[in-house]
Amino acid sequence: MSQTPHDPKRRHLLNRMLSLGGLFALSTFAAPQVVLAGRLVRVSGPRMSESKEVTRVVFDLSGPVYSHSLFVLHEPERVVVDIKGARAVGNLRTDGKSPALLRGVRHAQRNGRDLRLVLDLRRKATPRSFVLKPSGGNGYRLVIDLHHQAGKSNKPVITARAHEQKRRDVIVAIDPGHGGKDPGAIGPRGTREKDVVLAVARRLKKHIDRQPGMRAVLTRDRDIFLPLRERMKRARAHRADLFVSVHADASPDHRVSGSSVYVLSENGATSELARWLAERENSADLVGGVKLSNVDNQLASVLLDLSQDHTIEESLDLAEDMLNSLGKINRLRSKRVEKAAFAVLKSPDIPSVLVETAFISNPKEERRLRSRAHQEKIAKALYRGIRAYFRDNAPDDSLLASLQQKNRG
């Protein structure tokens, strides 16, 4: 999904969607559910204008759209438009020229043939959409009108000091890989992965806990075995904003070296979505406290799919920041973020990354991993990557966001 400025991820996205009535279909514009074989309709833009009452967003289309639907999500405010048989041309970004109501525009390709547009809003609005046929030298256009909502809030005024006191810490769940009966990889000198990554995780926790507005929790703080999904469960129990799994890679070729960072692959995301949907009837706490046992299959699928799209997008941002930071202290095995179906990365509602700090099977890297000084370097690099991510993505209700705003001001 293309990245644009938008509201940072809120904890328990799905819970707020349902508890606040956050998802409701506004309209579905459907001619026959048939997309002509051949090329997909190209969507470009957007162009924008605003008046006192309406903000208009216009996307140019290379041809007629046979079906599109629109709905709204709250906390944060978004308008989602799904277009069948379409693809984006360019990044569809607003390039900082957005009207006052609009934070930005994101998009993602779905099922290979459909396009999802997400309009991130600064406040509530009532959307309407329609397609214009070619006229006056213009081609087909998709028009989205965002009608401003008037009225004053009845909420009491809260002073800045009182408001800040109510703000929460951002929570980073640190997951030291392996443990207990599972030693992980073992280096030529007998160094066990489970010991090294626990030492790095403890050091990383100290750095995070020293930062005002941030707090770290460890999925394991001693040498115990944890099933992979128990690690995810513990992160969710702490209402984590991020999940960072720390490992040390191994290879049959002892010459292989370098650091790498992984996020969930598309195949892993698809299989996990299917698993959540299959188990939801028997789950009292499916995702982030949301009970979906009474929700129909289509709505449950949309909720989980939206959450997972957003989470993977945020995971990529975090992974890139961490990879850049690791590259300053160690050779990178891959200069790009890798994708894999690791089980610990499959939380649909928590941005998650897996870090391979180095190759413990490489004698030189094993020696460095055993060093407390180098463990500290790794921990600092991971911390700097997390801090870089939160500079643009600190949740609005967090103390960290408030402190950063003060510093910028």
Domains recognised in the chain with CATH numbers: 13-148 (2.60.40.3500), 164-401 (3.40.630.40)
280 near 286, Cβ under 8 Å? yes
Query: Tell me, what's the pLDDT at 49?
Result: 85
pLDDT band of residue 347 (cuts 50, 70, 90) is confident
Query: Which carries the bigger pLDDT value, residue 143 or residue 349?
Result: 143
**Residue in 404, 407, 400, 399 with CA at minimum distance from that of residue 163:** 399
Query: Which carries the bigger pLDDT value, residue 48 or residue 193?
Result: 193
DSSP 85: T
Query: Tell me, what's the pLDDT at 210?
Result: 95
List pLDDT tens digits, range 49-100: 888 888 999 999 999 887 888 888 887 889 999 898 999 998 787 655 667 8
H or E, element range at 214 = strand 214-218
Query: Which carries the bigger pLDDT value, residue 284 or residue 362?
Result: 362
CA angle 112, 118, 122 (to 5 degrees): 170
How far is residue 91 from each of residues 4, 138, 358, 395, measured CA to CA in Å?
A: 9, 21, 34, 24
**Residue in 337, 334, 324 with CA at minimum distance from that of residue 384:** 324
pLDDT band of residue 300 (cuts 50, 70, 90) is low
Query: Tell me, what's the pLDDT at 20?
Result: 39
pLDDT averaged over every residue in the chain: 80
Answer whether residue 406 shows pLDDT above 80.
Answer: no
Answer whether residue 195 shows pLDDT above 90.
Answer: yes
Q: Which of 25-34, 68-77, 153-162, 172-181 has the highest mean pLDDT?
A: 172-181
* % of the chain at pLDDT higher than 70: 75
Mean pLDDT, rounded, for 146-150: 84
| Residue 52 burial (CB count, 10 A) | 6
**DSSP state letters, 316-370:** HHHHHHHHHHHTTTS-BS-SS-EEE--GGG--TTS-EEEEEEEETTSHHHHHHHH
List pLDDT tens digits, range 366-399: 999 999 999 999 999 999 999 999 988 888 778 8
pLDDT band of residue 278 (cuts 50, 70, 90) is low
